[in-house]
A = this chain, B = another copy of it.
Amino acid sequence: MELFQKHQETLKRAVATIGSREYWSSYPESPRAYGEDAPTNGEAAFQDRLGKPFEIDQPSSGFSAGGEFSPYGIELGVTYPTADVESLISAATTAMEQWGKASIEDRVSVCLEILDRLKENSFEMAHAVMQTTGQAFLMAFQAGGPHALDRGLEAVAYAYAEMTRLPGGQMQWEKPQGKRDPLLIEKQWRIRPRGIAVTVGVSTFPTWNGYPGIFASLATGNPVIIKPHPGTILPLALFAETARTVLAEAGFDPNTVMLAVDTPDAPIAKELVMDPAVGIVDYTGGSSFGDWLEENVTHALVFTEKAGVNSVVIDSVPDLKGVFRNLSVSLTMYSGQMCTTPQNVYVPASGITVGEEQVSFDEVASGLAAAIDGLLADNQRAGDILGSIKGGEIAGRIADAAGSGYVLLESREIAHPNFADAEVRSPVIVKVDAEDTDAYMREMFGPVIYVIATSGTEESLRLAKDSAIAHGALTWLIYTTDSDTMESAIDSAVDAGVSVAFNLAGGLYVNQSTAFSDFHVTGANPAGNASLTDPAFVAGRFRVVGIRISA
């Protein structure tokens, strides 16, 4: 209850903000806000994790699991507890007994305390995210730390709002019966968890994509077993450590949060999610396993964020300079390894209107290529923007893309100024025609950009829509000065189930979605069946049992 008082104002503000959709954050995104010593201490804490077992007191048969690699080429060498599925399920079932019966206030305040503790360790988390995902430091700090915490708090706010929609305590229900005495009965409602929750983590944004499901499940009474991506374990292990500490301090079973680490050679996700005690699965990652989950895990709620092909449509602009500046950052940050990065840029073959002038397709395409080339000319800046490559098959994909059209800009290997073994690659930009759908209408994860010549904006929108419906999409970015075209693009986006942004030319990038305001994924096309975070993402994680007592 003391903990609830401590966090009450934050919770109240968070609940209000999911309604107003205004900008708000409880966790500063500027590294400078964390004090002078924080950077050094955080880095030291991270260094201290390396080359040894990650000590965590949960069901385990040893510390042999783990085989992460750093895209920056440093040696991680952390090992994690191994545990068989049966022991994990059994420990989670025991933990649920107590956690599931805890009050809404107790659960929610434990969640908020976990978020606060994670905030304190934002620099350690930043290094862990950077070194496992290949993100540049600032992105790793923000997306791995405060922005992920925002998403976690948002999920807690939704959970709290959903769970408190019924009258608390008890009520007297009275039904008039004409001349007879009214029917009278006392009613209460109890909230119960749905069942053990499993989070299957992603290699690129383990905390940002993981926290919403984890916190939504925890707040609603479900214990969470986290199965990190075998290539990106440390960030979610840090989360689990903090969560378990806070749970224990508050008098709860720390096994309410557990790690289930596996290796690519001996994956355990399928066995884990198929256990009948599992009631919820949250997944972020490739479409193939996401589809498998949706089709096979019919005994549990399954929330997926999979892959998609995101589009840019250029129709008409007042000025190209800001467009190129914005697009060149969007298209290159983290080497296109964000699920929100645009891949396909549709431009009419006849060119576009820029202010009063007509600018040819080739000028637009080569202008974009030049902007990207310029942005990445300096190796330090290139490293800060591109980060390093996480996925192993990128080189082949770049070669494949280059062979599928006219290369506007070749991909370069760039020497990272700080990490000699980092794999830094500038994107390949390929020009194709609208009819070359085999080339561009597929997900080419990583630094691959297509510029597609269409018969006009109508075809551009049609292709973007077909592509979203067939292959999924999370984001569209449309440039147009024409209000009819904007209306028609909105209609297409609604039909395709894709979030759409218009005319971004400043410091806001289409890749970014902000907690409390932007929904991440719509759930309405093959890019995923869930939306982070909307009421549907939370409402089914608990169930209500009605109690009627006759006087």
Contacts and interface: CB of A to CB of B under 8 A. Distances in A.
Report whether over half of chain A's contact residues are helix, strand or loop; otherwise say mixed. Answer: mixed
A392 interface: no
Interface string A520-550: 0011100000010011100110011111111
A296 B296 CA distance: 9
Interface string A490-512: 10011101111111111110000
Given A173-B21, A508-B185, A517-B187, A547 B192 contact: no
A162 interface: yes
Given A167-B20, A536-B539, A539-B534, A519 B505 contact: no
Given A547-B493, A549-B502, A21 B187 contact: yes
Given A165-B19, A187-B21, A507-B177, A497 B535 contact: no
Contacts of A84: none
A174 interface: yes
A178 interface: yes
Nearest to A523: B543
Contacts of A418: none
A499 B190 contact: no
Contacts of A61: none
A490 B545 CA distance: 9
A490 B547 contact: yes
Given A497-B192, A517-B187, A539-B535, A167 B549 contact: no
Contacts of A175: 23, 508, 514
A162 to B, nearest CB: 6
A178 B33 CA distance: 12
A194 interface: yes
A506 B183 contact: yes
A507 B507 CA distance: 66
Given A21-B166, A298-B298, A493-B547, 11 more contacts: A21-B189, A177-B507, A183-B508, A498-B545, A499-B545, A500-B545, A502-B548, A519-B546, A522-B544, A531-B543, A536-B539
* Closest 6 A/B residue pairs (Cβ): A536-B539, A524-B543, A536-B540, A501-B548, A23-B175, A535-B539
23 contacts: A19-B165, A20-B171, A21-B173, A21-B187, A21-B189, A101-B494, A165-B535, A190-B494, A192-B494, A294-B298, A296-B298, A499-B545, A499-B547, A502-B548, A502-B549, A503-B549, A506-B550, A518-B548, A519-B546, A522-B544, A534-B539, A534-B544, A536-B539
